[in-house]
Chain A
């Protein structure tokens, strides 16, 4: 019988990094080494601990990484609690990759890029950011605006400070919601910071974060003169199958797992407001 996407593969968790008080990044490799499967930036995978649960997570590592896949996961439910309490060497099951991806080989190519992320919303964008960094000559200037509740909640802080700020034609702007001892950077919400930074409208924007942040960021971008066709985001809804058959992750006639998770705002505008 042919293989079925509902039958998962096995992966081994070889490294667990505590990123923030409630976010850990898990490194997953195939039992014989290497990646369990290939993916494109923005695609997702179903990660599961049999008997505990299965959930859809964005693959936060870049496809240019040939050794492993990484998932940055916030502790906020039954399965993620379990994942946060496990040790390295634990096997998990993985299936995918699912969904479309950011158009890194088409619409984003040679463009100046503006990444805007809030909290754990950096996870799906990190895949694209590192992809762009590794294929630097294919893209224009990169600006990353990233904010979180506090400096402790910035995911991948080490990578941001040590690698992204030093990358060629990379500008990184960090912000936290409220003032904090030891923080000398910007304080304020992401949408306000974007308004303040006033990025030039020649940029293509990729935004991800809590729904309320996305909403106000889009508003700020429009005020700055950006149009909806320039702005991409990635969606998250409850999923079971990952292939548009179980029937629950639709926004109107589009399934987020199959037609998404990446949407341009002009595409979302044509869909019912139910997400």
Chain B
């Protein structure tokens, strides 16, 4: 198996960054981790996960879609798209790594979203297995193996070396390109540690959360549950959960007037906001109850209904730690499950 000894990891980062943009989790001034572009001196964060997910790399918070040149009554459409340059993202955890396959189902189904596809084709995901999970982790509930994350390449460490497992042709190309930095290593010790980690994950407080009560076939029952009123009561509609969520992909399209034309851009939107569905003649989701319900119904019912039962949550736990009102998908699942 390919490996790099940990004391040479920074050299590897430097080597990759010399050829293409490399992003990885680094510690911010406030102590939380976020993905940043590698520069001389960047240190890989030792924290479990980043505040914001890795979805930004393929579905950025804002992006230009198209420009318009306007002269009197005339409009000229300017396609400003450019082929994206190759880049690599190191240190994506198993939850975020799975989120890409969920986002793919949205953006790569017909008609394909060329903006997303462009980045997806040029970005190499190098995931990093988890050894010390947080109490808020529950990725295993959704069938994710945190010690064998998805991604083009998945990395695991035995404390001495970083092992690289290639999963896709794109990953293969990447390791070939940087073949000189890898050595051959025996992952025997690594396998033992993986088994140990798996046992840790089994003992997590949320490991036994059940998804049995959810899925497309439970749509009407769950939608009409009286529990939503109580569950949504504390929601202040801030939208934090949707922005930090690795699978939330709702977006808005807006225009920005420039000196000689108009820039049309896409930005993240949130189903938690009152204007999300507001029309000139009314709003089908009038209160926070409807908006709150939409978000969880989408992840637990509507998405699986349209995607062979796959849930729209990866159990990263970000909403558990960041919601200012302490409401989250786990509370929703537990409350609705009782009704079964």
Asked whether A1 lies within 8 Å of B106 as measured between CB atoms, the reply is: no
**A252 and B65 in contact (CB under 8 A), knowing A4-B115, A5-B111, A247-B298?**
no
Asked whether B73 lies within 8 Å of A6 as measured between CB atoms, the reply is: no
Residue of B nearest to A3 (CB): B114
> By CB atoms of chain A within 10 A, which of B107, B216, B219, B264 has the most?
B264
Query: Can you list, as one digit per residue, whether each of B51-74 has a CB less than 8 Å from chain A (1) or not (0)?
Result: 000000000000001101010011
On chain A, the number of residues with a Cβ less than 8 Å from chain B's Cβ atoms is 43
Asked whether B264 lies within 8 Å of A50 as measured between CB atoms, the reply is: yes
Residue of B nearest to A245 (CB): B106
A84 contacts partner chain B, Cβ-Cβ < 8 Å: no
Dominant SS at the B interface? mixed
Query: Can you list, as one digit per residue, whether each of B257-283 has a CB less than 8 Å from chain A (1) or not (0)?
Result: 100011010100101000011111100
B250 contacts partner chain A, Cβ-Cβ < 8 Å: yes
Compute how far the CA of A28 lies from the CA of B255 in the bound complex, rounded to whole angstroms: 22
Compute how far the CA of A254 lies from the CA of B256 in the bound complex, rounded to whole angstroms: 31
Which residues from A are CB-within-8-Å of B159? Answer: none
Which residues from A are CB-within-8-Å of B278? Answer: 238
Which residues from A are CB-within-8-Å of B301? Answer: 252-253
**A1 and B114 in contact (CB under 8 A), knowing A76-B281, A80-B280, A89-B73?**
yes
Asked whether A93 lies within 8 Å of B77 as measured between CB atoms, the reply is: yes
Asked whether B70 lies within 8 Å of A253 as measured between CB atoms, the reply is: no
**A237 and B277 in contact (CB under 8 A), knowing A1-B118, A243-B111, A245-B107?**
yes
Compute how far the CA of A252 lies from the CA of B115 in the bound complex, rounded to whole angstroms: 27
Compute how far the CA of A123 lies from the CA of B317 in the bound complex, rounded to whole angstroms: 47
B29 contacts partner chain A, Cβ-Cβ < 8 Å: no
A246 contacts partner chain B, Cβ-Cβ < 8 Å: yes
Q: A8's contact among B66, B81, B281, by CB below 8 Å, is which?
A: B66
Query: Can you list, as one digit per residue, whether each of A73-92 has a CB less than 8 Å from chain B (1) or not (0)?
Result: 00011001000000101111
Which residues from B are CB-within-8-Å of A54? Answer: 253, 255
Which residues from B are CB-within-8-Å of A238? Answer: 276-279
Q: A253's contact among B81, B280, B305, by CB below 8 Å, is which?
A: B305
A53 contacts partner chain B, Cβ-Cβ < 8 Å: yes
Which residues from A are CB-within-8-Å of B276? Answer: 238, 248
B285 contacts partner chain A, Cβ-Cβ < 8 Å: yes
Which residues from B are CB-within-8-Å of A89? Answer: 73
Asked whether A245 lies within 8 Å of B262 as measured between CB atoms, the reply is: no
**A246 and B284 in contact (CB under 8 A), knowing A4-B113, A51-B70?**
no
B223 contacts partner chain A, Cβ-Cβ < 8 Å: yes
Asked whether B68 lies within 8 Å of A93 as measured between CB atoms, the reply is: yes
Asked whether B114 lies within 8 Å of A4 as measured between CB atoms, the reply is: yes
Q: A272's contact among B68, B113, B220, B264, by CB below 8 Å, is which?
A: B220
A43, chain B: closest CB distance, angstroms = 14
B208 contacts partner chain A, Cβ-Cβ < 8 Å: no
Residue of B nearest to A259 (CB): B306
A22, chain B: closest CB distance, angstroms = 12
A246, chain B: closest CB distance, angstroms = 5
Which residues from A are CB-within-8-Å of B264? Answer: 50
Which residues from B are CB-within-8-Å of A106? Answer: none
Asked whether A93 lies within 8 Å of B75 as measured between CB atoms, the reply is: yes
Which residues from B are CB-within-8-Å of A240? Answer: 251-253, 269
Which residues from B are CB-within-8-Å of A7? Answer: 65-66, 77, 79
B302 contacts partner chain A, Cβ-Cβ < 8 Å: yes
Asked whether A253 lies within 8 Å of B216 as measured between CB atoms, the reply is: yes
Which residues from A are CB-within-8-Å of B111? Answer: 4-5, 243
Asked whether B74 lies within 8 Å of A91 as measured between CB atoms, the reply is: yes
A211, chain B: closest CB distance, angstroms = 8
A216 contacts partner chain B, Cβ-Cβ < 8 Å: no
Asked whether B249 lies within 8 Å of A245 as measured between CB atoms, the reply is: yes
Asked whether A53 lies within 8 Å of B255 as measured between CB atoms, the reply is: yes
Q: Which of B299-316 contact A (CB under 8 A)?
A: 301-302, 305-306
Asked whether B219 lies within 8 Å of A252 as measured between CB atoms, the reply is: yes
Query: Can you list, as one digit per residue, whether each of A46-76 has a CB less than 8 Å from chain B (1) or not (0)?
Result: 0000111110000000000000000000001
A241 contacts partner chain B, Cβ-Cβ < 8 Å: yes
Query: Can you list, as one digit per residue, whether each of B240-258 has a CB less than 8 Å from chain A (1) or not (0)?
Result: 0000000001111101010
Residue of A nearest to B282 (CB): A211
Compute how far the CA of A9 lies from the CA of B75 in the bound complex, rounded to whole angstroms: 10
**A51 and B257 in contact (CB under 8 A), knowing A76-B280, A238-B279?**
yes
**A51 and B280 in contact (CB under 8 A), knowing A1-B118, A247-B271, A274-B285?**
no
B340 contacts partner chain A, Cβ-Cβ < 8 Å: no
Instruction: List 10 A-B pairs, minimum CB-CB distance, nearest first.
Output: A247-B250, A77-B280, A50-B68, A50-B262, A253-B305, A253-B302, A91-B75, A272-B223, A4-B114, A51-B262
What are 11 residue pairs bridging A and B, where the CB atoms are less than 8 Å apart in the complex? A5-B111, A8-B77, A50-B262, A53-B255, A80-B280, A238-B277, A240-B253, A246-B252, A249-B277, A252-B302, A253-B305
- In addition to A50-B70, A246-B250, 12 A-B residue pairs with Cβ atoms within 8 Å of each other are A2-B112, A7-B77, A10-B76, A50-B255, A50-B261, A76-B281, A91-B73, A240-B269, A246-B269, A248-B269, A249-B277, A253-B306
